[in-house]
Structure 1
Amino acid sequence: MIWKNFFAVAVVTLVSSSATWASEQPSVPLKLVVGFPPGGGTDGAARIVAEHLPKELGRPVVIENRGGAAGTLGAQSVLRSAPDGNTLFFGTSAELLINPITRKTAPYDVLKDFMPITEVGSVAFVLVAPSASKIQNVPDLIAKAKDNPGKLNFSSFGMGSTNHLIGEMFVSTTGISAAHIPYQGSAPATTALLSGDVDFTFDTVAVMQPHIKAGKLIPLATPSPHRVSELPEVATLTELGYKDLTAEGWMGIFAPVGTSEENISALNKAFQKVLERPDVQSQLAARGVGIAGGSPEKFSKKLVEQSEKWRRVAKESGISLD
């Protein structure tokens, strides 16, 4: 009986503390920083989530776009903020994990300098080739690469980007030779692919799907652990026999290191409620984001695993932004 009473008091105290934290700051807006300009994929996802946060937090929420240096300037601005739960970062694997890994002097360490609140969701990629290339599947691509050693190339939306590393992992695992051509963003990389200047690429399903539907690009496979709901007929690379070729991007919410556990817990609860909304899930799904959610501990474990994986890929590929 004593333990039951103790547990009940603990639960009431936790709930009361979380409620008190939210109610003490009704006039202080929660600032959600995005490291990219308005209108992009990350910004769009952040706004979908932010729309419903005021109801859960009982205070305003504003999006602050701080673009530059591939998203790292926005992340650094959050690190310089007071760890009071009023400034958070809506970030992705690209600027938080992969960019620092590919630098000799990293701007920060996501495992040491940020406190994860929750993972928003995973971002699926797809391997595509121009329809005019007559490459219809992965064996076709590999055969063409081996018949033309050193002549094929693949694009990415930036040196050290997520799809750059996925491309390098594909080249290494399949044993082919292909040159990497970085572009300043997904739009010019896609234009080069459509014009035939590039032989293949990995890009997000949300960006590639319109061109696939238009018949301009052929989806060859996805590196996701399971088939992507938007492209159910497209096999995964795992299904094709490449069990180590799995990769996805992710989006998540982070606070500056030093933020209290009380704040982290209250914020996690608010984001969970938003991510459980069917309308939010459908809107994010339309952008190629598969809802994840979960505890800070669950997200932290994923970050450790992802860090080890991409460090290995970057080292084996010799990628460095310095």
Structure 2
Amino acid sequence: MLLLKRLLLLGVAACAPLIATADEYPNATVRLVVAFPPGGGTDGAARLLAEKLGPELGQAIVVDNRAGAGGTIGAQSVARARPDGYTLLLGTGAELLINPVTRKSAPYELLKDFVPITEVGGVTFVLVVPANSPAGSVQDLVAHAKSMPGKLNFSSFGMGSTNHLVGELFLSATGTKATHVPYQGSQQAMTALLSGEVDFAFETAAVALPQIKAGKLKALATPSPQRLKDLPDVPTLQEVGYKDLVAEGWMGVFAPAGTPAPVIQKLGQALVKVIRQPDVDARLTSRGVLVTASDTDAFRKKLAVEFDKWRRVAKDANVSLD
């Protein structure tokens, strides 16, 4: 009996930090992990959220870039972190959905190892080529690729990333072949595209827009279901004849599984308030993010649908990282 009481006391003591954290949260710096290098669209959104969320919570929010393995390293570090609300992930479909569904054994399960707090919004992509590319349209690019089977290259910001899979979908839908060249993040992939190291890419609008406006890239199409606000003259892939080639990404904030519900609730309320601020909405929109600010329940339901969708897409496109 004495041993049982001691074990119970130890159990209560072990839970005490989490209970205290839930009541007093936050009373220390919060880390917001980004699973990609600095300079990309996800990193930019994270720094904006950190800037605004810190004052809302009354504590500093520090962005921690943990890149590698298509985002898996950063995501895994959060899944393994203490579930107290002080380590969060600004995650995307790339590392949390697509990477796992393209592997036989994934290092984590999205809805088992993470708690979705808030969806920030959808992420749009643009099919781009260097300014000196002979391709002036999707039809030109397809014809060029078919005339040189397997000779063209396309970049992505990591093996198993969203734009890798969208690229593979494009090849499948157009009946073309090209070599995938993965890089460690959007910045490196963009550098390769601008230098002519690769021939085309499905880049996030956030990263591609400045280069398009500067005349360094040509935008041929978007895989989004509608034209992009900042590129009204660029058609969708549906409009140019590929009716089933529709794809968008998303980004949201996650905590490790087991994080106390009151902490999740407080974070969710603060995030929604911040994301809906007019200046934040405008800055995210300018980065190609279609702001949603969905709460935990709505976000969880969306993720379940997205998981099934991308698993089918990976299977149909025969994309495997094993």
TM-score range, shorter chain: 0.7 to 0.9
Distance verdict in 2 for CA 1:90–1:142, change over 3 Å: same
What is the number of equivalent residue pairs in this alignment? 303
Within-5 A mapping of 1:116-195: 116-195=116-195
TM-score, with normalisation over the residues of structure 1? 0.84
Cα deviation for residue 197 of structure 1 reads: 4.0
**Equivalent position of 1:53 in the other structure:** 53
Aligned-pair Cα RMSD in Å = 2.4
Report the CA distance shift for 1:211/1:57 in structure 2 as closer, same or farther (over 3 A). closer
Structure 2: where are the runs of 5+ without partners? 1-19
- CA change 1:196–1:72 in 2 (3 A) is closer
Shift of 1:70: 3.2
Cα distance 1:35–1:185, how it changes in 2: closer, same or farther (>3 A)?
Answer: closer
Deviation digits for residues 51-76 of structure 1 (CA, Å, limit 9, x no counterpart): 22234334443333333333322222
Inter-partner Cα distance in structure 2 for 1:218 and 1:233: 12
SS of match in other structure, 1:292: strand
2:80 is aligned to 80
Cα distance in 2 between the residues matched to 1:274 and 1:44? 15
In 2, Cα distance between equivalents of 1:148 and 1:212: 26
The offset of 1:37, in angstroms, is: 4.1
Secondary structure class of the residue paired with 2:132: helix
User: In the aligned structure 2, how far is the partner of 1:178 from the partner of 1:67?
Assistant: 26
Conserved in 1, the CA contact under 8 Å of 2:41 and 2:204?
no
Q: Could you say if the C-alpha distance between residues 257 and 185 of structure 1 is closer, same or farther in structure 2, counting changes exceeding 3 Å?
A: closer
Map of 2:101 onto structure 1: 101
| Matches of 1:292 and 1:93, distance apart in 2 | 15
> In structure 2, what is the equivalent of residue 222 of structure 1?
222
Q: Which residue of 1 aligns with 2:285?
A: 285
Q: Distance in 1 between matches of 2:22 and 2:105?
A: 38
Change (3 A) 1:266 1:137: same
Question: Is the alpha carbon distance of 1:189 and 1:32 closer, same or farther for their aligned partners in structure 2, counting shifts above 3 Å?
Answer: closer
Alignment gaps of 5+ in structure 1? 1-19
Which residue of 2 is the match for residue 43 of structure 1?
43
Distance 1:56 1:215, change over 3 A: closer
* Distance in 1 between residues matched to 2:150 and 2:46, nearest whole Å: 40
Amino acid at match of 1:72: T
Is 1:238 paired with 2:211? no
- Structure-1 separation of matches of 2:249 and 2:197: 25
Distance 1:241 1:134 in 2: 21
Q: Deviations over 1:157-216 (max 9, x none)?
A: 222121110011011112223232333433443344334443322111222223322333
1:117, 1:316 → 2: CA distance? 31
Partner of 2:16: none
Query: AA paired with 1:47?
Result: R
- The alpha-carbon distance between structure 1 residues 190 and 90, as it changes in their structure 2 partners (threshold 3 A), is closer
Name the CA distance, whole Å, in 2 between partners of 1:135 and 1:41: 26
Q: Is the 8 A contact 1:22 1:58 kept in 2?
A: no
Q: TM-score, normalised by structure 2?
A: 0.84
Write the letter of the residue equivalent to 1:226. Q
AA paired with 2:320? S
The answer for the alignment partner of 1:30 in structure 2 is 30
CA distance in 1, matches of 2:179, 2:67: 29
Contact 1:154 1:179 in 2 (8 A): yes
CA contact (8 A) 1:27 1:60 kept: no
